[in-house]
């Protein structure tokens, strides 16, 4: 391993356990395998992983629909919490033994994972490693889309689809901390109560209620300023009908498809709407580092004060990654699903 300051006195192993997904397919393809411990580059750290987050993109990659970007690990997993086990020669902000949580370009479902040092954040005071592992993917995604791209401001209103999922429940809290009125959609009464407890002002069960009609009724037909959507499909046109003057629709996924037929663009011109969106994983190291700085400055104090909550639904052992993916696909969870990888002893 070149350009390393390695962990001492503990010697790094040469091999590690990780979750392989073979050629892809259903959750059953996830199996423990053994491979080489990755070596960090000059500006990277090697993290001994205690916990890894389970996210929608992991399911998509396992299924063969979301290939990793060039240069990224082919191993699943986009966020971890653990201990810095080694660092590149140009890394000065982290020391061996520091506990961190981090956004990763891949490789989190493993005992060791490499990521850029600037994508790491300290464990918020008062939180444990498991809670910290539930933060990076949700917060990086919600912040850059709802706050940066959506430009949500105090006094505005927002509709957040899928409020009980990881990104959804995080976005609800960010919006409330920014002084916004929050509408959200969920699929059952348990999820509705969960979102209300987090501060959502109006919770709509999309299985039994028409979310367009409900938002229009609660806003006297004004609509909302910002919509955060990961569903796509027929939601796209419906969302546009709900945007008020200068409204912003931010798309972060297309669970029901990205193509719309007979879409009327006239409202975009007449109401000066913005339709935007982003994916996080392919963004540059510098862009992700900027988001990390914003989170540390603006969100970490709220986590440490208890104003913002971390909700963990279930923690599976690394060997049970398939069960974790089944739970994710069934969409009955509220909050975050995690994998326990090691105890970092």
Instruction: For residue 15, give both structure tokens.
Output: 């091999």
Sequence-separated (6 or more) residues with CB below 8 Å from residue 153: 178, 179, 180
- Do 268 and 291 belong together in one domain? no
d(CA 275, CA 219): 21
d(CA 222, CA 36): 57
Read off the CATH number of the domain in which 76 is found.
3.90.180.10
Please tell me the chain's helix, strand, coil percentages from 3-state DSSP, rounded to the nearest 5.
Answer: 30, 25, 40
pLDDT tens for each residue of the chain, 345 residues long: 445 555 544 689 999 999 999 999 999 999 999 999 999 999 999 999 999 999 999 999 999 988 999 989 999 999 999 999 999 999 999 999 999 999 999 999 999 999 999 999 999 999 999 999 999 999 999 999 999 999 999 999 999 999 999 999 999 999 999 999 999 999 999 999 999 999 999 999 999 999 999 999 999 999 999 999 999 999 999 999 999 999 999 999 999 999 998 899 999 999 999 999 999 999 999 999 999 999 999 999 999 999 999 999 999 999 999 999 999 999 989 999 999 999 765
192 and 203 Cβ atoms separated by less than 8 Å: yes
- Do 34 and 52 belong together in one domain? yes
Please give the residue range of the domain that contains residue 171: 139-277
Domain boundary among 261, 277, 293: 277
What secondary structure letter does DSSP report for 231? -
- Do 127 and 143 belong together in one domain? no
Domain boundary among 234, 255, 277: 277
- Do 128 and 223 belong together in one domain? no
Give the count of domains, the chain: 2
CA distances from 171 to 98, 141, 167, 203, 228 (A): 28, 9, 6, 14, 9
Domain boundary among 277, 306, 324: 277
d(CA 110, CA 73): 11
CA-wise closest residue to 246 among 278, 268, 264, 261: 268
- Do 202 and 247 belong together in one domain? yes
Please state the separation of Cα 159 from the chain's center in Å.
18
- Do 66 and 149 belong together in one domain? no
**How much is the pLDDT for 6?**
56
């Amino acid at each position: 391993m070149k350009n390393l300051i390695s962990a001492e006195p503990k010697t790094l192993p040469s091999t590690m356990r990780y979750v392989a997904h073979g050629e892809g397919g259903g959750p059953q393809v996830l199996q423990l395998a053994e491979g080489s411990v990755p070596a960090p580059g000059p500006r990277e750290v090697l993290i001994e992983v205690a916990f890894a987050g389970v996210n929608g993109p992991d399911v998509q990659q396992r299924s063969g629909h979301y290939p990793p970007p060039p240069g990224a690990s082919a191993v699943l997993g986009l966020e971890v919490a653990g201990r810095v086990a080694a660092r590149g020669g140009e890394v000065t902000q982290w020391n061996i033994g520091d506990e961190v949580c981090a956004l990763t370009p891949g490789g989190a479902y493993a005992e060791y994972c490499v990521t850029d040092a600037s994508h790491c954040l300290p464990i918020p005071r008062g939180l444990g490693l498991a809670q910290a592992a539930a933060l990076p993917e949700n917060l990086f995604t919600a912040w850059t889309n709802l706050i940066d791209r959506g430009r949500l401001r105090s006094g505005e209103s927002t509709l957040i689809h899928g409020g009980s999922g990881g990104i959804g429940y995080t976005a609800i809290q960010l919006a409330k901390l920014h002084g916004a009125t929050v509408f959200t959609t969920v699929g059952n009464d348990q999820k509705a109560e969960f979102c209300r407890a987090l501060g959502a002002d109006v919770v709509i069960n999309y299985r039994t209620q028409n979310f367009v009609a409900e938002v229009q009724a609660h806003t006297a037909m004004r609509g909302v300023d910002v919509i955060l959507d990961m569903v796509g499909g027929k939601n796209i046109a419906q969302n546009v009908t709900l945007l008020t003057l200068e409204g912003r629709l931010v798309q972060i996924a297309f669970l029901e498809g990205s193509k719309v037929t007979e879409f009327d663009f006239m409202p975009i011109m007449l109401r000066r709407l913005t339709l935007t969106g982003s994916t996080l994983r392919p963004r540059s190291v510098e862009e992700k580092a900027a988001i990390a700085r914003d989170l540390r400055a603006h969100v970490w104090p709220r986590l440490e004060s208890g104003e913002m909550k971390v909700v963990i639904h279930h923690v599976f052992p690394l060997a049970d990654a398939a069960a974790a993916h089944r739970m994710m696909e069934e969409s009955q969870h509220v909050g975050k699903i995690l994998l326990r990888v090691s105890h970092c002893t």
